[in-house]
Chain A
Amino acid sequence: MKPLSLITGNTRGFSIPSLIIGIVLLGALFCFPSFVQSPYALHMMILLFLSTIMGESWNIIGGYTGQYSVGHAAYYGAGAYGTLVLLQKWEIPPWYGMWAGMAVAVLLSLIIGSICFRLRGPYFVLASIAVAEIVRITVLNTPAVTNGAEGILLSDLPPFKIGGTVITDFVSKVPFYYISLLLAIFTIVVTWLLQNSKLGYYVQAIREDQDAAHSLGISLSLYKSIALAISAALTSLAGSFYAIYIKFIDPSTVLSLDLSVQIVLIAIIGGIGTIYGPLIGALVLVPLSEALRSNVIAQGLINCGVVREDSGVGIFLKEHLAHAHVLIYGILVVIVILFMPDGVLGFVKKKSRDWGLGTGKGLDR
Chain B
Amino acid sequence: MAILEIKHVSKFFGGLAANADVSFTMTQGMIMGLIGPNGAGKTTLFNCITGYYPPSKGEVLFKGKLMNGLEPDMVCKLGMARTWQKVRPLAKMSVQDNVMVGALCRTGSLKKARELAMEQIMVVKLEHKADFPAGRLTIGERKKLEVARVLATRPELLLLDEVMGGLNPSESEEIIQLILDIKKQGITQMVIEHDMKAIMRISDRIVVLNSGEKLTEGSPQEVVNNPEVVKAYLGDFHA
Contacts and interface: CB of A to CB of B under 8 A. Distances in A.
Direct contact of A and B (CB under 8 A): yes
Interface of A: 196-198, 201-202, 204-205, 208-209, 211-220, 273, 361, 364-365
B100 interface: yes
A214 B71 contact: yes
26 contacts: A197-B110, A201-B104, A204-B90, A204-B92, A204-B93, A208-B91, A209-B88, A209-B89, A209-B90, A211-B52, A212-B89, A214-B72, A214-B73, A215-B50, A215-B76, A215-B82, A215-B150, A216-B81, A216-B101, A216-B105, A216-B153, A217-B102, A217-B153, A218-B101, A219-B71, A219-B74
B73 A205 contact: no
B228 interface: no
Contact of B97 (A197, A201, A216): A201
A201 B101 contact: yes
Contact of B88 (A196, A212, A273): A212
Contacts of A197: 110
Nearest to A196: B110
Interface residues of B, number: 33
B77 interface: yes
B108 interface: yes
A227 B85 CA distance: 30
A201 B103 CA distance: 11
A216 B110 contact: no
B233 interface: no
A201 B100 contact: yes
A211 B71 CA distance: 11
A208 B89 CA distance: 8
B131 A364 contact: yes
A198 B112 CA distance: 11
A324 B110 CA distance: 48
B131 A361 contact: yes
B133 to A, nearest CB: 6
A208 B90 contact: yes
A197 B109 CA distance: 8
A158 to B, nearest CB: 43
Given A201-B100, A361-B131, A217 B73 contact: yes
Contacts of B97: 201, 204
A211 B131 contact: no
A290 to B, nearest CB: 34
Contacts of B81: 215-217
B172 interface: no
A196 B113 CA distance: 12
Contacts of A361: 131
A30 B91 CA distance: 39
A205 B101 contact: yes
B101 A202 contact: yes
A211 B73 contact: no
Contacts of B73: 214-220
A198 B76 CA distance: 17
B149 interface: yes
| Interface-central residue, A196, A212, A361, A364, by most chain B CB under 10 Å | A212
Nearest to B134: A208
A364 B133 contact: yes
Given A204-B93, A205-B93, A208-B91, A213 B131 contact: no
A217 B101 CA distance: 9
B53 interface: no
B28 interface: no
A365 B149 CA distance: 19
A216 B149 contact: yes
A215 B93 CA distance: 17
Contacts of B92: 204, 208, 273
Which 10 A-B residue pairs are closest in the complex by CB-CB distance? A217-B105, A208-B90, A212-B88, A217-B76, A214-B72, A205-B101, A219-B73, A209-B88, A217-B77, A216-B102
Contacts of B71: 214, 219
Nearest to B87: A212
Interface in B221-239: none
Nearest to A223: B73
A198 B90 contact: no
A111 B97 CA distance: 31
A205 B90 contact: yes
